[in-house]
């Protein structure tokens, strides 16, 4: 039977089928494949798009809608609707659907990163439960909108010009959220900064970059954290942005008389549990949970262990500043490559039992790094 005939048989069934599609792209493909489906869609486009939007975006749809509706046709910020208004007016246009699909892709990329670093170190795709995912996504959409309104963020990147930061409206914006919601925002903001920190260490603008990165919004942060591009330049990160978002949050904590989230390390905020939280180091048997490393996440070691160049200096193997190192050894010292190299040449006595996939804590990794450094350096 031809696909179009299926859709032609019953208008109500076709309507329900279209509304149950999981994404905007599947809806578009179906409409292109069937004229009957297209006719049914055309009779109730906003209604069907709204239902598909929920299937695609999930429970954080009001926050996502609020973000995309805060832009005009030229993608410049305009009057911002409330989340409640977005719930009441959930009828969605094709243009909004396209923007929703775009912002959702960035949010999902950040969720994968968050899950890998803070929920489950064994998987690079999100292992968050549906509740944890909703909390995470809601917080990122809110941070994104905050960056649009008071920072330099746009839907695709960040603006050239920087705007003066206005404290009062920013305070009013965040004050509308409950303390629980603000804790989730603070937790996610700290994660976003850390994600960038591990990608840009040792760069010239390190301090300024990390402290100001929230000004640029999630698209820039995802790009920077994935090391796919250079960081936004200094012009985007004026010193006036230090403490962007976090200072405003701090002011609210004082007003509400509650402790900042970092006081209790964010335990219980956003995540209900951490996979492998009780896992032990294969070498020293200490319970280290997320702070365990094997080839799956060796690329994250730079955030926990000093660069190999620094270790070379500590052992007196080099005297020059890291920046003066000649190109060949410098190109060899990313942690995944270095760990691979020392595993290949591992000490047959002290590291006889070391298996490549063993999870090791940072202390044991550092020990292995130092023990093998002279021999590795001699080969360079």
Binding site for Zn ion (CB under 5 A): 281, 283-284, 361, 364
The angle at the Cα of 169, spanning 167 to 171, to the nearest 5 degrees, equals: 65
Scanning the chain, the segments in alpha helix (DSSP H) are: 3-8, 11-19, 24-33, 35-43, 45-57, 61-68, 83-88, 94-118, 130-150, 167-175, 179-200, 206-212, 218-225, 246-256, 308-314, 327-331, 335-344, 362-379
Least distance to Zn ion from the beta carbon of 338, Å?
18
Residue 183 or 283: which CB sits closer to Zn ion?
Answer: 283
Least distance to Zn ion from the beta carbon of 364, Å?
3
The C-alpha atoms of residue 45 and residue 27 are separated, in whole angstroms, by 11
Residue 110 or 365: which CB sits closer to Zn ion?
Answer: 365
Residue 49 or 365: which CB sits closer to Zn ion?
Answer: 365
Residue 277 or 284: which CB sits closer to Zn ion?
Answer: 284
Residue 13 or 284: which CB sits closer to Zn ion?
Answer: 284
Residue 134 or 294: which CB sits closer to Zn ion?
Answer: 294
Tokens coding 249: 């949050």
Least distance to Zn ion from the beta carbon of 286, Å?
5
Taking the CA atoms of residue 335, residue 337, residue 341 and residue 346 in that order, the dihedral angle to the nearest 10 degrees is 30
Least distance to Zn ion from the beta carbon of 366, Å?
9
The C-alpha atoms of residue 179 and residue 167 are separated, in whole angstroms, by 19
Least distance to Zn ion from the beta carbon of 131, Å?
33
Which residues are paired to 7 by β-bridges? none
Least distance to Zn ion from the beta carbon of 275, Å?
19
DSSP class of residue 82?
Answer: P
DSSP state letters, 334-358: SHHHHHHHHHHT--TTTTTT--TT-
DSSP class of residue 77?
Answer: B
């Amino acid at each position: 039977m031809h696909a179009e005939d299926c859709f032609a048989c019953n208008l109500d069934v076709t309507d329900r089928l279209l509304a149950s599609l999981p994404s905007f792209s599947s809806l578009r493909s179906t409409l292109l494949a069937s004229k009957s489906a297209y006719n049914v869609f055309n009779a109730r486009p906003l209604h069907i798009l709204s239902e598909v939007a929920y299937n695609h975006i999930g429970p954080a749809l009001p926050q996502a809608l609020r973000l995309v509706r805060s832009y005009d046709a030229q993608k410049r910020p305009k009057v911002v609707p409330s989340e409640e208004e977005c719930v009441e007016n959930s009828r969605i246009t094709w243009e909004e659907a396209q923007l929703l699909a775009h912002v959702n892709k960035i949010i999902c990329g950040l969720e994968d990163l968050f899950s890998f670093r803070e929920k489950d170190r064994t998987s690079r795709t999100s292992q968050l439960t549906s509740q944890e995912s909703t909390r995470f996504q809601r917080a990122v959409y809110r941070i994104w909108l905050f960056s649009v309104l008071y920072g330099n963020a746009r839907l695709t990147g960040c603006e050239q010009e920087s705007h003066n930061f206005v404290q009062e409206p920013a305070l009013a914006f965040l004050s509308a959220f409950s303390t629980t919601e603000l804790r989730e925002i603070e937790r996610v903001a700290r994660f976003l900064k850390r994600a960038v920190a591990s990608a840009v260490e040792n760069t010239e603008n390190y301090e300024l970059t990390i402290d100001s990165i929230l000004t640029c919004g999630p698209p820039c942060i995802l790009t920077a954290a994935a090391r796919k591009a250079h960081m936004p330049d200094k012009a985007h990160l004026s010193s006036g942005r230090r403490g962007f978002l976090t200072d405003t949050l701090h002011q609210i904590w004082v007003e509400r008389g509650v402790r900042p989230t970092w006081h209790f390390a964010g335990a219980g905020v956003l995540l209900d549990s951490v996979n492998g939280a009780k896992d032990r180091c294969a070498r020293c048997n200490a319970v280290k949970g997320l702070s365990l490393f094997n080839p799956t996440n060796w690329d994250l070691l730079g955030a926990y262990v000093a660069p190999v160049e620094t270790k070379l200096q500590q052992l007196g193997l080099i005297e020059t500043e890291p920046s003066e190192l000649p190109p060949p050894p410098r190109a060899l010292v990313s942690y995944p490559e270095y760990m691979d190299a020392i595993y290949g040449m591992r000490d047959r006595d002290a590291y006889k039992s070391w298996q490549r996939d063993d999870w090791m804590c940072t202390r044991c990794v550092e020990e292995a790094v130092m023990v093998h450094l002279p021999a590795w350096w001699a080969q360079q």
